[in-house]
Amino acid sequence: MDVISVIRAKRDRGELSPEQIDWVIDAYTRGDVADEQMSALAMAILLNGMNRTEIARWTAAMIASGERMDFSSLSRPTADKHSTGGVGDKITLPLAPLVAACGAAVPQLSGRGLGHTGGTLDKLESIPGWRARISNAEMLDVLESTGAVICAAGDGLAPADKKLYALRDVTGTVEAIPLIASSIMSKKIAEGTGSLVLDVKVGSGAFMKTVEDARELAATMVGLGTDHGVRTVALLTDMATPLGLTAGNALEVRESVEVLAGGGPADVVELTLALAREMLTAAGLPDADPAKALADGSAMDVWRRMIAAQGGDSDAALPVAREQQVVTAPASGVLTRLDAYDVGVAAWRLGAGRARKEDVVQAGAGVELHAKPGDTVTAGQPLLTLHTDTPDKFDYALESLTASYDIAPAGTEFTPAPIVLDRVG
């Protein structure tokens, strides 16, 4: 085997053999295939795709690159959730403790930001003292004692994916359906969860721009999960507009705590509850009431214990960016569009995301929204507030927002898109 032959096979729209797939994943994990060579193969996969047989083998090879976890010793059924990534998508933060408060164990292995989308670990690391990396033994202890854990995948879990995940972020290959599906499902299957709910985002701020593409990705992942004995279902959810009123690390943590306290934006609460119900049903707890767990404070109690178990201080002040700049509404009327992708790019340019895999994100950077589509606005009122520690980034961020919203005349009727668009599985 040699990597050039594998690259050429996919470049020329050929089907990779099981032996080629097994070899290239193993060689890349060991360092015998260089980043630039895997970048070329990833781009060929993005452009030419993979069939179901190739995707299944690629996923199996990713799983085989490392260890598999076992949660059978836990006293609770396990349920996990994964989002394909969006702008303002802080749902994991309130969701994990909420589902745990209802009786399931949530082993939430999360990642860092990809492109214009935020990363759960980057958000949580804005909490003073919180650490993403814990051992497998610690993970089991936290799950048994609190019911929920959000952490980074250990080095032994699908190490091939860890390398490829970072590479995709900086080589323009994030959107490849085979690589998205295999990345997500290799980690989730190796993780050992009993059931899995997928949140597949659709729209400008998602990697899947159309319902058709999102449904294809969802069906691919549901099939992979089912084939490996994991009860898997997917919800297709809207990502044309940012979720909630914030996009950025500490900003989103603050908003998530508001949800756990019984408040927060309506769209964040709605999606959190929808996913919680799916997770609880998949875990064999269909009669649990997540809305009650939000209202009575039990989800907040789990949040505090979960954060403390990983060294975090849930009562400490969150970082605040040193500089802010306000974007005002240019006219009065009804806000009918606020583009999620444009807002995500602005947050990324302000320092909330990475341009290179070794970059450090700014905890306080991001975009705060003062209106959502359907709201009436007045000329001159704040529409967005940009946050960053480096004010020379403002102009670059503003470039992405020049055509990011539409304001229609006052009295214009507007019907927002539903949050949940479809269900697969």
Task: Give the residue numbers annotated as catalytic, written as ranges.
Answer: 82, 161, 168, 183, 187
Size (the chain), residues: 425
Per the CB < 8 A criterion, the answer to whether 150 and 389 are in contact is: no
Please list the helix, strand and coil fractions of the chain in percent, rounded to the nearest 5, in that order. Answer: 45, 15, 40
With the CA atoms of 142, 247, 112 and 101 taken in that order, what torsion angle do they form, in degrees rounded to the nearest 10?
20
Order of strands, edge to edge, in the sheet holding 333-338? 376-377, 333-338, 405-408
Structure tokens at 136: 């497998």
User: Distance between CA 119 and CA 353 in Å, rounded?
Assistant: 8
Distance CA 221, CA 104 (A): 22
In one-letter notation, the amino acid at residue 363 is A
Give 38's contacts (C-beta < 8 A, 6+ positions apart): 24, 28, 163, 164, 167
Angle between helices 35-48 and 159-169 (to 10 degrees): 80
